[in-house]
Amino acid sequence: MKHLAITFAALIAAGAFAQSDTAAVQDPARTTRLELGVSSKEGGYAKVTSDTTSKDSSSFTITTKRKRITITTEPRLWRNESDSIADVIKEKRTNRRNLFTYWSGIDVGVNTLVGDDGDPDLSADAEFMEINNARSRFVSINFMEQKIEFGSHHVGLLTGLGWEFVNYRLKNNVTLAYDADSVYGVEMETPDLRKNKLRQMGLRVPLMLEFNTKRSPLPTADDVRAMRADTTGAVAKRFRQSRKHNFHLAMGVVGSWYFDTMYKQKWEQDGETRKVRDKGDYLLLPYRAAASVRIGYGALNLFAEYSLTPLFKDGKGPELTPVTVGLTLIGFN
């Protein structure tokens, strides 16, 4: 049976285990560990061991039958004061910029289509594209972000990269069809379609001005020196970064490029589920530019996007404009 022990670095002062009537001189470089383990020879056991290490270090030890593996962590020594202080401030600035940028995450929303008059009640020639808004879902995985700050974290220009899925769930019992000149809908009496949707998938890139209201000052060189000397953590607490109670607003455009389109139908026939998928482009415009706004408080983030480009290629279908509203379900920062 293999001998396996997990050691917890307790950092207990060695003098705590001395007899109360013994005059002991504590070694500040000595740490005392409580080691718990199970082995075939000793069964379950508990040992108190001491090691001589740096007084600022902590460690985690794994003991096997033939080896003892110890991982020790301790504060990194400064190369020199000026360079190390600059590194601390630079790291703080980077963390603050990431914290107060609200692009990366998973966006979830719903889609709708409006006509050329801005009305969601479509004209007769576009009725075949009426959609079920509640089931026309939008999902975006925004996995990369970058922001250029204009002097501070309060104002900046953000960009990034995301992967989006746009679904239009058709409301009427029609089949979409298209030829070289136009896209149209064919009304159907049977079967009764359980699913009738058009989907686009692609990449998206934002270019937006972002504003934040919360103050989050960076430490000065003197503050960094004080933090290193302070053992209570009071100085560091003054520069602890948090977006709690921060009001944020971003406005700009989002460009999307769609590299995949799918039309899917599903229905029941003779007790069996039938499905049809088609990868045709259905004369959809393969790109989109949308005016976008993102607004929120703290970790909450709502967004809306109004397309500046039509759904279909010019002259190939009814004049329809996609609109999306939703929220950031999961933020990566």
Do the beta carbons of residue 213 and residue 246 sit within 8 Å?
yes
pTM of the model: 0.74
22-46: per-residue pLDDT in tens? 334 444 445 555 566 666 666 666 6
34-83: per-residue pLDDT in tens? 566 666 666 666 666 665 544 455 677 888 777 888 887 766 667 778 88
Q: What is the pLDDT of residue 23?
A: 38
What is the rounded average pLDDT for all residues in the chain? 85
Q: What is the pLDDT of residue 114?
A: 96
Model confidence band, residue 200 (pLDDT cutoffs 50, 70, 90) = very high
User: In the predicted model, what is the mean pLDDT of residues 261-278?
Assistant: 94
Tokens at residue 137, please?
């879902």
Which position has the higher pLDDT, 48 or 7?
Answer: 48
Matching residue, tokens 């293999």: 2
Q: What is the pLDDT of residue 34?
A: 59
Distance CA 281, CA 200 (A): 9
Tokens at residue 29, please?
């470089």
Do the beta carbons of residue 93 and residue 218 sit within 8 Å?
yes
175-198: per-residue pLDDT in tens? 999 999 999 999 998 899 999 999
Tokens at residue 154, please?
């309060």
C-alpha neighbours within 13 Å on the C-beta side of residue 258 = 23
